[in-house]
Amino acid sequence: MNIYVGNLSYDSGEADVRKSFEAFGKVTTVNIIMDQYTGRSKGFGFVEMPDGNEAKAAIAGLNGKDLQGRALNVNEARPKTERSSGDRGSRGGGGGRSGGFGGGRRDSW
């Protein structure tokens, strides 16, 4: 089972998170998400546990618990949603001199 772990201290490393989850069972992977520009933790990550019962016990046992001064937010990870390369949210559109509305050629600039 893939588990989301939020509200991590920026000082928490993979070993710290692994140790907390291994108290509940076998941990396959720990992946702390890092900012690509600063190289610092973004404060969340994912833990993979192969046994569903152990994973549920870890979620129940660690959600709200303190790790390095922060109360963890632990729950089952939602599946990643697919986004098309052009999907950037609704930020409006248009552009150019006419602001994207009305259009037409104007020679009198």
Q: pLDDT digit of tens for each residue in the chain (109 aa)?
A: 999 999 999 999 999 999 999 999 999 999 999 999 999 999 999 999 999 999 999 999 999 999 999 999 999 999 878 766 655 555 555 555 555 555 555 555 5
pLDDT at 9: 95
**Which CATH code for domain 2-76?**
3.30.70.330
Sequence ranges of the domains in the chain: 2-76
Could you tell me the pTM of the whole model? 0.73
Q: What pLDDT, on a 0 to 100 scale, did the predictor assign at position 80? A: 79
Within a 10 A sphere around the Cβ of 62, how many other Cβ atoms?
21
Measuring CA to CA, how many Å separate 34 from each of 6, 13, 37, 96, 97? 13, 11, 9, 36, 39
Backbone conformation region of residue 68, classed left if phi is above 0, alpha if psi is from -120 to 50, else beta: left
Cβ–Cβ under 8 Å, residues 23 and 67: no
